[in-house]
Structure 1
């Protein structure tokens, strides 16, 4: 469904990575593991269609997304959800935050009608945001202000916001970094539920145990390149590249 082929990207004279390839299909979880600074977040931004590659192609289905009109590319971007390491919520209720992605995808007339109904207290949302909040274990907190939430709960709201509009692809950038075990487990369960809904998920993570728990395939990002991609059990138990083994065993220091 989403396929990056031999993409190169840099900032100014600094190359972040070159000739990187990665794909994700419906109903699978792909984990990207690797040290900090190697380019995992940059790769996710390219997959999210926020930035264009300097070279190479990114295809959605059979379409090169950087070889079409801006409007057409926006249609593809709206099929993709992304959750960042920081929750970045609005000063509003849990429900209002969770339904944000749904609202911005509506036509302007519907958005204005929805905003007016919200101001006069005549809307209860679409129901999709409630289902998403229940998926991450926050169904009972829909009317709370996000300022009352813990950091882990806020991150779960951010996950629900991306899940509510039913994306075809879900990109997660260190979604459980610095979270306690309970919040980590709830987000991991939500990732697996997204997969069961036939969503393709790509998660960048420092936590190799997390990759083992939730990923169907693992991509190893080292030395500014993806050096190996394979089934999770193969990558962890019998990797093709010796550098993969050394990284997993902690023998490579970055």
Structure 2
């Protein structure tokens, strides 16, 4: 399975944000997208998440063009992609209920009815998937805790578990640790590696060079309106092909 963007353009308010951007996320890999703040990393992730359509170019899911597919098929593609935003947004409910949300909305009405009946009679259901996801981020013991009582780092871990619980093919992370302390950052980074080991393709937008070097298999550099270079992590940090990549990584190229 590959999620791929080819020569996409996107802009708003007469401003070009992305131009001729080509990028792919493969199953079982971590791709880090690095670049300065405001360059369009979040916009690129929204396009990959199929929230927005590009103005030009193609986005393909498993070699099928997404935006020319019937709406029902496009919804099926979207349901196989999870996204975690920089700011976690949780519901006024307990942790478990928040994590099972993605599972519930992806069920048919018949499955939802069975889920509710199973809950009433105390049978197991999607809750086991939620607990597995919470264990991945070290939050299983807080499953019945009210989400409003969580710290910012804990809330982000729950948001990650919510995206992981329905076992997506692709997981997109938008600066997931930018406001977190080292402990919560380490938990999220470990969860990213566990997702990759499960065969999930992960794309992480980050301005943290050290994080990209720690967790990524490949790195894409977004400068200006284009991805100027994509390559294996070690090669990108030690011997990039594009001089602008070297200058940006070394802090010489400031936007």
TM-score (norm 2): 0.96
Q: Which runs of 4+ in 1 moved over 3 A?
A: 112-118, 120-125
The answer to whether the 8 Å contact 2:118/2:125 transfers is no
The answer to whether the 8 Å contact 1:98/1:160 transfers is yes
Please give the root-mean-square deviation of Cα atoms over the aligned residues, in Å: 1.3
**Cα deviation, residue 38, structure 1:** 0.7
User: 1:87 and 1:208 mapped to 2: Cα distance?
Assistant: 22
Could you say which residue in structure 2 is the equivalent of 1:18?
A: 19
- Any unmatched runs of 5+ in structure 2? none
Could you say which residue in structure 1 is the equivalent of 2:115?
A: 114
The answer to whether the 8 Å contact 1:114/1:123 transfers is no
| CA-to-aligned-CA distance 1:163-193 (integer Å, 9 cap, x gap) | 0000000000000011000000000000000
User: 2:13 and 2:223 mapped to 1: Cα distance?
Assistant: 21
The answer to whether the 8 Å contact 1:98/1:161 transfers is yes
The answer to whether the 8 Å contact 1:246/1:252 transfers is yes
Could you say which residue in structure 2 is the equivalent of 1:139?
A: 140
What is the DSSP-based 3-state SS (H/G/I as helix, E as strand, rest coil) of the residue aligned with 1:9? strand
**Cα deviation, residue 133, structure 1:** 0.2
2:238 is equivalent to residue 237 of structure 1: yes
**Cα deviation, residue 113, structure 1:** 4.7
User: 1:152 and 1:123 mapped to 2: Cα distance?
Assistant: 31
Could you say which residue in structure 2 is the equivalent of 1:228?
A: 229
Could you say which residue in structure 1 is the equivalent of 2:196?
A: 195
What is the DSSP-based 3-state SS (H/G/I as helix, E as strand, rest coil) of the residue aligned with 1:221? strand
**Aligned residue pair count:** 253
What is the DSSP-based 3-state SS (H/G/I as helix, E as strand, rest coil) of the residue aligned with 1:20? strand
**Cα deviation, residue 37, structure 1:** 1.0
**Cα deviation, residue 224, structure 1:** 1.2
The answer to whether the 8 Å contact 1:33/1:218 transfers is yes
What is the DSSP-based 3-state SS (H/G/I as helix, E as strand, rest coil) of the residue aligned with 1:170? strand
**Cα deviation, residue 116, structure 1:** 6.4
**Cα deviation, residue 61, structure 1:** 1.2
| CA-to-aligned-CA distance 1:86-106 (integer Å, 9 cap, x gap) | 110001010000111000001
2:92 is equivalent to residue 91 of structure 1: yes
Could you say which residue in structure 2 is the equivalent of 1:162?
A: 163
User: 1:110 and 1:218 mapped to 2: Cα distance?
Assistant: 40
| CA-to-aligned-CA distance 1:62-108 (integer Å, 9 cap, x gap) | 21001110000000000000000011000101000011100000112
- Any unmatched runs of 5+ in structure 1? none
User: 1:54 and 1:2 mapped to 2: Cα distance?
Assistant: 18
User: 2:216 and 2:167 mapped to 1: Cα distance?
Assistant: 20
Could you say which residue in structure 1 is the equivalent of 2:43?
A: 42
| CA-to-aligned-CA distance 1:109-159 (integer Å, 9 cap, x gap) | 3324534665x5846542001000000001111111111111000000000
